[in-house]
A and B are shown apart, each in its own frame.
Chain A
Amino acid sequence: MFSYIVKRLLVAIPTLLIISVFVFSLQKLLPGDPVLAMAGEERDPQLIEYLREKYRLNDPVPIQYIHWLGSAVQGDLGMSLRTNQPVLTLVAQKLPVTIQLAIMSMLFAFAIGIPMGILAAVKKNTALDYVANVVALSGLSIPNFWLGIMLILLVSVHLGWLPASGYRPFFEDPLNSIKTMLMPAFVLGNALAATLMRHTRSAMVSVLSADYIRTARAKGLAERSVVLEHSFRNAVLPIVTLSALLFGELLAGAVLTEQIFTIPGFGKLIVDAVFTRDYAVVQGVVLCTAVGFILMNLVADVLYVVLNPRMRASL
């Protein structure tokens, strides 16, 4: 298993290198000379030259990239122009907030998507199945920022049940932290629940028609036991690996949700950075998200091997 993980990590290196080229190239898309913007209105030639030297802009682009990559590998993603803090420090500050949101969203997605998928498969081609499919399709089609706005309107403005904003860190005030995160987590978990429902249904439909399920039923086992113990246990493998991938996507999906509910997380960090032209932060967030996404891909692959005895045996 260890050698498998090492092999998968090695395979990720070229992918990360290509992503690093893309992220580095982003700053070259900027119109105009960034040094002139930094030098202010006076445009002192000495200051301009100093800045060019400092940021190695006099070097050829490939050399600039190598220096940038060297720093990034050592955890130096540059400094935020807005807060004058290292980009990695900012990312490390904001990430726990988004991870809390992502975990709560996943819980919502599991609680809604998996039971709905199982029910739709067991009651295949009945009214319940069609309703579940319509709900899933709606979940996939509804823009989560609109769902968030509508929930604020209903739950916060009209009913006054939950606060629309006012994030509290979990370890300082767990109860209020959960209260402020309930709506955003539901909004973010909604589309995932739809995806999970579709995959659970599809996996369960294929397992329920297998010979061993027919045998289990022929032996007179209770339907509950057939569905939950025999079928779901075998259908759970693709669902678990899909969940690991979805968790990676949540980091990105949080951008709009955090914006609407004013949650000071990873997504809000990139949006604020975009509007303050804090490009080092934008680059840092893109790079860190890609690394997170690749790590979750790796987790998905490892989980697949751990949970599948046939794959484990073939290692």
Chain B
Amino acid sequence: MTTLDQVRIPVASAQRPASRAWRKLKANKGALVGLFIIAFFALLAVAAPLLPIPDPNATSWSAIRKAPSALNWLGTDDIGRDILSRMIWGARASLMAGVLSVAIAVVVGVPFGLVSGYFGGWIDQIISRVTEAFLAMPFLITAIALAAFLGPNLMNAMIAIGLSAMPVFIRLTRGQVLAVKTEDYVEGARSIGLRHSSIITRYILPNVFAPILVQATLTIATAIIAEASLSFLGLGQQPPAPSWGSMLNVAKNYLSQAPWMAMWPGAAIFLVVIGFNLLGDGLRDALDPREA
């Protein structure tokens, strides 16, 4: 006997829109450049332990603040550490912080947005008011305050950034759910008595996923800058572990003696952030049904 839960409601194939979006993304040069930049840095971050580079924390008193040379391609820092090596290992911290903090924002924020939009009523009122309050607090100030009270380390910085970015995902998801929940296929699912949890996970979530993905990509760019900012202030990655933000923090004290110390980490942050911004813009165009 077929139970109500087993009744399948035909929904549009997810494959076709996905392949159409991928085709549009491939045709967007900016998005491809963004994807290439991200892939390059991700590869460096993953392959860091395998690359023939010096230990990023190995100091050398005979190589303090050496300009770029054949031995140290990007120069050395104030205690003789190889900047290229610290840049490559720093990519791990920056990319991990960007991705994980946005993952925290999505994993916590999206369910709240789904519940708020789907059920409405008093639950929606409470969640919406709290979200509005958090949106009224500037992102970086909230992250600094949270990181300060939680304690300065990379994990707490990621939690602080994730929680500060969360309200955007709650509001976005709620808005999308409000638009989707009146669609015929959701009404159909409800009319045959499917549980709310099934309707939300099987019929609503897949249809609100695209804008969340776009927002997540763009927020990774913001999160990478936020992590670099917190590390620059001494509230993120702690020494001697390398991170682009903390490298800049040290570099600002040696601007006239060793300008290379400041150039490369900032350039890396700029490149990665522009990569995620280009990819996010490309994804937005590719996933926009109006631009079929």
The answer to whether A270 and B141 have CB atoms under 8 Å apart is yes
Determine if B133 and A19 form an interchain contact, defined as CB atoms under 8 angstroms apart.
yes
B192 to chain A, nearest CB (A): 39
Q: Does B239 touch A at the CB level, under 8 Å? A: no
Contact of A137 among B132, B259, B269, B274 (CB under 8 A): B274
Binds A, one of B107-115, B180-188, B228-236: B228-236
Which stretch from B38-46, B53-61, B248-256 is at the chain A interface? Answer: B248-256
Contact partner of A149 among B136, B266, B273, CB < 8 A?
B266
- Contacts A22-B133, A290-B137 given: A279-B149 contact, CB under 8 Å? yes
Say whether B137 contacts A255, CB under 8 Å: no
Q: Is the CB of A270 within 8 A of B262?
A: no
Complex formed: what's the CA distance from A18 to B142 in Å? 14
**Which secondary structure dominates where chain B touches chain A?**
helix
- Cβ–Cβ contact B133 & A15, under 8 A: yes
**Closest residue of chain B to A19, judged by CB?**
B133
- Are the C-beta atoms of B129 and A138 separated by less than 8 Å? no
Q: Are B136 and A19 in contact (CB under 8 A)?
A: yes
A252 to B138, CA, bound (A): 6
Least distance between A273 CB and chain B CB atoms (Å): 8
Cα–Cα distance between A27 and B149 once the two chains are bound (Å): 7
Determine whether B278 belongs to the interface, using a CB cutoff of 8 Å to chain A.
yes
Distance (Å) between the CB of B247 and the closest chain A CB?
11
**A152 CB to nearest B CB, Å:** 6
Q: How far is the CA of A207 from the CA of B17 in the complex (A)?
A: 32
With A18-B130, A22-B133, A143-B229 as contacts: A138 and B274 at CB distance below 8 Å: yes
* B121 CB, nearest partner CB in chain A, Å: 17
Which chain B residues numbered 137 to 195 have a C-beta less than 8 Å away from chain A? 137-142, 144-146, 148-151
A153 within 8 A of B: yes
Q: Is the CB of A143 within 8 A of B137?
A: no
Chain A nearest CB from B234 CB (Å) reads: 7
CB distance from A17 to the nearest CB of B (A): 8
Please give the distance in Å from B133's CB to the nearest CB on chain A.
4
Within the complex, the shortest CB–CB distance from B127 to chain A, in Å, comes to 11
- B116 interface residue, CB < 8 Å from A? no
> Whose C-beta in chain A lies nearest to the C-beta of B141?
A252
Using known A-B contacts A29-B149, A249-B138, A252-B140, determine if residue A143 contacts B228 with beta carbons closer than 8 Å.
yes
In the complex, which residues 11-47 of chain A have their Cβ closer than 8 Å to any Cβ of chain B? 14-16, 18-19, 22, 26-27, 29-31
B221 touches A (CB below 8 Å): yes
> A180 at the A/B interface (Cβ < 8 Å)?
no
Contact across chains for B262 and A149 when beta carbons are under 8 A apart = yes
User: Which residue of B235, B266, B281 contacts A274 across the interface (Cβ within 8 Å)?
Assistant: B235
**Which residues in A have their C-beta under 8 angstroms from that of B139?**
252
Query: A253: CB under 8 A from chain B?
Result: yes
Contact check, B274 vs A146: say whether CB atoms are below 8 A apart: no
> Would you list which residues of chain B between 197 and 234 have a CB under 8 Å from chain A?
221, 225, 228-229, 232-234
> For the complex, is A244 an interface residue (Cβ under 8 Å from B)?
no
Q: How far is the CA of A252 from the CA of B134 in the complex (A)?
A: 14
Kindly state whether residue B36 has any CB partner on chain A within 8 Å: no
A26 nearest CB across to chain B (Å): 5
Cα A87 to Cα B141 in complex, Å, equals 17
Say whether A18 contacts B266, CB under 8 Å: no
With contact pairs A27-B149, A149-B262 given, residues A143 and B140 touching in the complex (Cβ less than 8 Å):
no
Nearest-Cβ distance from residue A279 to partner chain B, whole angstroms: 7
Min CB distance B41 to A, Å, is 14
Residue A80 at the chain B interface, CB threshold 8 Å = no
Do the beta carbons of B141 and A146 come within 8 Å of each other?
no
Q: Which residue on chain A has the smallest CB distance to residue B232?
A: A145
Cβ of A255 and Cβ of B270 under 8 Å apart? no
Q: Of B138, B140, B259, B262, which is in contact with the most chain A CB atoms at under 10 Å from its CB?
A: B138
Q: A141-B270, A142-B270, A256-B229 are in contact. Are A149 and B248 (CB under 8 A)?
A: yes
Per the bound structure, the CA–CA distance linking A15 and B259 in Å amounts to: 46
B101 at the binding interface (Cβ < 8 Å): no
Q: Does B277 contact A (CB under 8 A)?
A: yes
What residues of chain A lie closer than 8 Å to B150, measured between beta carbons? 29
Of A64-72, A102-110, A281-289, which stretch is located at the interface? Answer: A281-289
**Chain A positions within 8 Å of B146 at CB level:** 26, 29
Q: Is the CB of B255 within 8 A of A157?
A: yes
A150 adjacent to B144 (CB under 8 Å): no
6 residue pairs, one from A and one from B, having the closest CB atoms: A252-B138, A146-B266, A18-B133, A141-B274, A274-B148, A141-B273
Query: Which A residues are closer than 8 A to B by beta carbons?
Result: 14-16, 18-19, 22, 26-27, 29-31, 137-138, 140-143, 145-147, 149-150, 152-153, 157, 248-249, 251-253, 255-256, 259-260, 270-271, 274-275, 279, 282-283, 285-286, 289-290, 293-294, 297
Task: Please list 19 pairs of residues, one from A and one from B, whose beta carbons are closer than 8 Å in the complex, sorted by A's number.
Answer: A14-B133, A15-B132, A18-B134, A19-B137, A30-B149, A137-B278, A141-B274, A145-B248, A146-B266, A149-B266, A157-B255, A248-B138, A255-B233, A259-B233, A271-B233, A274-B144, A283-B145, A286-B137, A286-B141
- Apart from A15-B136, A30-B149, A274-B235, what 6 extra A-B contacts exist at CB < 8 Å? A18-B133, A18-B134, A138-B274, A149-B248, A157-B259, A259-B232
